[in-house]
Every structure is written in structure tokens, then in C-alpha cells.
């Protein structure tokens, strides 16, 4: 199974690669990484707001710049995750349907990848070295 560091290396190593496949482990390790670097600072700023204080400008700038820098690799990873279950990357846009779409996409990301080659390529071999 791919580990945290390998998943982050793959995430940035395949910055704009929309072809190929990504395992559940790779996808969810990157989601944890994004939560820590985006979610926690965002929640801190919400806490400032609840305490009737000014949100931290530095945290707002961090969240904005980090989000902007990671739009393309995040979309590419989502595309590759959909490829792993045999679906086209456009399935990501199911999230545009309020609530139901997000739940459906969550279920798709939790679905095990196809263990055989599909139209998007060979299954990802987690025991071999990563190729970028």
C-alpha cells in the first residue's frame, strides 16, 4: 500500500497528469494532507469570527495561495481516482449537484479500484517504485 510521503510525491509528481489511475490510498492520503494544510487554518479563522475578532490575514493568504496552487493537481488526482474504478474523470462534476452529488462522489472515491486493466490503463502496482 502507498504511504503518506509517497502519495504526496505522486500528487506533485503528476501535477497535471489526467491520464492513468490513482488508488484509494493515494487519494485519501492526499485528502488528509489537504485537510491539514487547508482545513485547519480555515477552521481557526472561523473561530476568530465566532469570537468577534478579525480573522488572521496571514491564514487567509495561506489558504488562498495554497488552494490556487493545488487546483490542477487536485483535479488531476480526482480524474485518476475515477479512472481507477473504470469511470471517466468527468464524474467529478457530479459534486455540482447539491448534497446528493457530493455523497455519490464520496461513495465513488471509496469504491475499490478495478483489479484488472481497464480503458484507462493497468492497475496501479503499489509494490513497485512510483513512476512520474
Please, what is the Cα angle at 22 between 17 and 116, to 5 degrees? 120
Kindly list the distances between the CA atom of residue 126 and the CA atoms of 6, 25, 30, 36, 48, in Å, as whole numbers in the listed order: 10, 10, 16, 24, 42
Q: How far is CA 84 from the centre of its chain?
A: 14
Residues 108, 92: Cα–Cα separation, whole Å: 9
Residues 24, 125: Cα–Cα separation, whole Å: 12
Strand partners, 118: 121
- The answer to whether residues 87 and 118 touch, using CB atoms and an 8 Å cutoff, is no
**pLDDT tens by residue, the chain, 132 residues:** 899 999 999 999 999 999 999 999 999 999 999 999 999 999 998 888 888 888 889 999 999 999 999 999 999 999 999 999 999 999 999 999 999 999 999 999 999 999 999 999 999 875 444 444
- Answering whether pTM is above 0.75, one says yes
> What pLDDT score does 130 carry?
45
Domain segments of the chain as ranges: 4-110
> What pLDDT score does 14 carry?
95
> What pLDDT score does 126 carry?
55
Amino acid at each position: 500500500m502507498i504511504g503518506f510521503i509517497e502519495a504526496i510525491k505522486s500528487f506533485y509528481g503528476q501535477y497535471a497528469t489526467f491520464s492513468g489511475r490513482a488508488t484509494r490510498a493515494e487519494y485519501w492520503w492526499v485528502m488528509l494532507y489537504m485537510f491539514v494544510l487547508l482545513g485547519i487554518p480555515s477552521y481557526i479563522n472561523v473561530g476568530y469570527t465566532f469570537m468577534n475578532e478579525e480573522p488572521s490575514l496571514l491564514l487567509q493568504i495561506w489558504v488562498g495561495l495554497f488552494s490556487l496552487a493545488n487546483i490542477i493537481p487536485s483535479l488531476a488526482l480526482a480524474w485518476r481516482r475515477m479512472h481507477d474504478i473504470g469511470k471517466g474523470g468527468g464524474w467529478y462534476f457530479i459534486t455540482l449537484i447539491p448534497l446528493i452529488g457530493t455523497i455519490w462522489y464520496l461513495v465513488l472515491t471509496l469504491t475499490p479500484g478495478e483489479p484488472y486493466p481497464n480503458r484507462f490503463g493497468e492497475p496501479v502496482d503499489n509494490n513497485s517504485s512510483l513512476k512520474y
